[in-house]
Each structure stands twice: as structure tokens, then as C-alpha cells.
Structure 1
Amino acid sequence: MNWYQEWRALSARIQGLLDAGSFFYSAAEHSSSDNLSVRKKILLTNAEKIFSSLTKYLKEYESTFPEGAFESLKRFLEQPDIINFNFRPDQGQIRGHVQFALTSLAAFQSEFSYIIADTQALALRITERAFAHLQRSIIADDEIKKKWLSAFDEGEPKCEKLGALHLLLHGVWAFKAYAEKGRTDLILNEPLSDTSIIEKSSTALVLTEWKVVRQNNKLEATIREAYEQTKIYTAGVLSGIELANYRYLVMVSKKSMKMPADFMEGTIIYRHINVPVDPDTPSKEAKNS
């Protein structure tokens, strides 16, 4: 289990406790009695277990959390009121303690879920930046351009490796699909069986399919081929860093090619990216168009 899967389980426990608290107070609306000590034996006892689990969770996944998520959990657990909280209060203090424990957990659950949801937006921005940087690096750096011209001549495997290496500089781990639940490392060309290094080193895990296009009239068919190869992938999201709703169809060409509009299928957006290895300047392209 990774930090993202663990959080889903913890979040479900928190929500279950909140639902139990809501049910208890709804059922006790017309009576202030708690003859069976439900608040103390069930609500506070389970709240204590969840706080303990959150502390263990922080220690276990400290090195793999997204930065914002780590800071949120650490800040929550280090509050003096949380550290010094008494889960076994006197009878007259039980109501206030239950309210504090459950409200604290509800507020934290909301904040943490929001932060990790935002990691998807961050992953998208970083991925888009990485591709823009690659395209501009080929224009600005003669050495990089030479490498890509050579890769273009060698074919797709070399382009995949070079492209994946560039994306990794931005914290984007690119992979390709080889089966419904299979990920292949583009650099090593081996199955991605151990994903711990990805969780520790990357901000985003992105499904890509790199194709070399040597003729303009082959572009549509090549994009279709790339689409068919990516759509078989149905694996679950890895640790919250996998860009689950985007797939990149990367067309490597000699000169710039006009890409068709991106399209959406179900919840998946297919992005078309062109990486020209010997591009003209935008002004020259405009004259030739």
C-alpha cells in the first residue's frame, strides 16, 4: 500500500466516525442521556485510534508525501491542542471533547483532500512545461538539436529514451503502456514493477506514446496508432502522482506539424504534442503556410 491508498483508507475511517457522531447526536436529539457512554467508549476511543494512525502515517510516508500534504499533516499533528488532548475526560467535559476531536478531524480531512487533489493540477502544469521546454531547447541549443536529429534518424525507441530523460529533469516520469495494467519504463525498456523510486523522486507519472512521423500524410494514421496503444491502459492511479486523466500522444517530426485538436473520451483527455527536431522559426513557418 502507498501513501495515497493509505489516505483513502484513513479518510474512510474519519468519515465513518463523523457519520457515527452525527447519527448519535441525531438519535439523542430529544434526550441528553448517554447511559452506555457511547461518546466516551465509541466516539472518543475511535478518534484516539485515528489520531494514532495519522501519527504513524506521517512517519511511514514522510519521504514520499507531496510537499504540501506533508506540511498539512505535520502542522495538524503538532498543534498543542492535539498533542495534549485528553481522550478520557471527566463526565462533565465529554461533550466538548467529542466536539473538538470530531471537528478537528473533519477540518483536517477536508484540507488534506483538497491539497492532494491539487497535486493533479500541479502534475499537469509541470508536464506541459516539460514539453514546452523540450520544444524550445531544440530551437535554442545546437547540441540538443543534434541529439534529437540523431534520435529521429534512429527511430522511436531512441526518441522515447531521450524524451523521457528530458521529462524526468522536470520531475515527470514518463511511461508507456504494454497491457491493461502494465507500465514500461521508456529509458530502460523494462516493466515498471518497483514504483517506490517514482514516488520518492517524481512529481508526476505520465502515460505517453512517442511516434516518429516522416511524412505529413502519415500524421493522422500515426496518431491513431498511438491512441490505440494508449487506450488499453486501465491501471489504477499510483500514489496520487499519476496524471490519471491525461494521455500524451507525442509526434516527433523533422519540421513542425499542425496537430489536430485534443479530444476527450470518457474522463480521459488525449493531448497531441509535436516535437519537431529541425523546426523553422515561427515567422518562417508563417511565410511557408
Structure 2
Amino acid sequence: MRSNSEKQQTLKESISYDGVGLHTGQNVKITCKPLPADSGIIFKRVDLPGKPEIKAEVDNVVATNRSTTIGTDEYRISTVEHLLSALNGAGIDNLLIEINAEEVPVTDGSAKVFLELLYEAGIEELDSKRKVYKIDEIIWVREGDAYLVVLPFVSFKTSYTFVSEHSAIGNQFGEFIINEEVFRDELAPCRTFGFAQEIEDLQARGLALGGSLENAILIEEDEVINDLRFPDEIVRHKILDLVGDLSLIPPFKGHIIAVRSGHKLNVKLAKNIKSYLFDQ
């Protein structure tokens, strides 16, 4: 999607943020710095020898278990989706993200904090045009009862069905034609979530070690513990994740229909779209 501007964009000045990783529980600092046109989004592990860099591209995804992780055989950067979603929503095409640990900070579990920091730094429009691709055919992926379909459309639209038998949240449906304003007001504030009965197992597997009521919605057996920001905040967060995962490919126009999709299927669709756009 990449906002409403026809030109590529970066930040006017650098910004930094200190926080904790949702899954690792590690303290982490990121610093985002402007880059020139056609640079892309680049992560830099400043805590490692040689300070290796890697582009936020779908071909660099190495894991999709509970989050999206990019990396190589030597190093990883995990839980990139909320930050990438904020960058996509704000229309940032070019940025260097220095990070001193293996996981992006969770902030409050949404993209709101990142988005506010980006706007605080200011958006710089560059001279080069942004190329937004057009989808002319139906592209889909499916695994069991989960699927994603992208149809031709004049802008960027998502229709997501979240299916759950959990009494506290139930089934949810969200549909948005997403531009910069819609992302800021309707999607960016929506937080990640977890089910109480899964927490012990996740932590035993080294996940959710930094999770708390300050950065995630906790769903108990028959109630949601936190106050929700929207009645359908769960499905809105799933769309936020989708926006982040699809930023791993160049921006495009299309109508995405999702049922039960998560990071694994999001990334599969991104790869299929990239193949459709560039391998024909």
C-alpha cells in the first residue's frame, strides 16, 4: 500500500526506541535512520561482529512461528511485522533500522507507538517515484481451512474472517480499504493477543517471555482481561499483521480476502504475488 504519496519516502531525521522483545524478553534498542531512494528497508544487527545488514524482503524470511523472522544461517531478526506494518502504513520505502538484539521491541503490542515515532521524526518525500504494481489475476494460497486470496482491485483492500470457538471473542470479520488515514485510526492501535491456556506452553518453548498486559491482550477461558480498544480488535490486529507481512514485497493494488490466515500463509501469499509480478 505505502500511503497516498506517489513519491518514495524516508524519514526527515533519525529516531530511537528502547523496549523489550515479546518472545525473547530481551531489552532491545532500535534506531531508524533515513536512506536515499531505492534503498529499501534494511535491518542492521549492530550487536554482532561486522554489523551485518539484511533487507526486509520475503526471500529473507526464515521463520513464521508466532511472528515473522528474517535472517540468515548466522543471525536472525524476529517479530518484524508490527514495525514493518507501521512503515507500510506511513509510506516509508527507505530506512535503515539498527538493532542491538535479535527481536524488534513489542512496544504496546500494536503499531501505534512506532507510527507515532515515525510522524514525530517527519516524513521526507524523495525525488524518485514509487512503483505500485497492479494485480490482474486471482492469486491464492491455502492450507487446510485457512486461505488467502488476492483479487484485482483499484486500491488496497482487506477482508479478514477470524474464526474462533472461544466464547470471549468468537468469530470476527473486518474489512477496510486501507490508506494512510485508515491505517492510523483503525488498525495501528490494535494489539497482539494471547490465550491464557497457551502461555505456559509457549514460555516452555522460549516464546512470549516478554509478554504482559502492557503489550498484549490476554484472553482467559471466558473473558478478555484487558479493556479492548475496539470491539473487534482481534481481527483488526490480524489485518495489521497482514499489512506488515505484505510489506516484504513491493507495494501493489488488490483486494485480499483472508480466512484464518497467519504469518506462515501471509508469507506464502507474498511469495506467490512476487512470483506473479516478476517471474512471468
Question: TM exceeds 0.5?
Answer: no
**Higher fraction of strand:** 2
Q: TM-score, normalised by structure 1?
A: 0.21
Q: Point out which structure has higher relative CO (alpha carbons under 8 A, 6+ apart).
A: 2
Q: Greater CA radius of gyration, 1 or 2? A: 1
Q: TM-score, normalised by structure 2?
A: 0.22
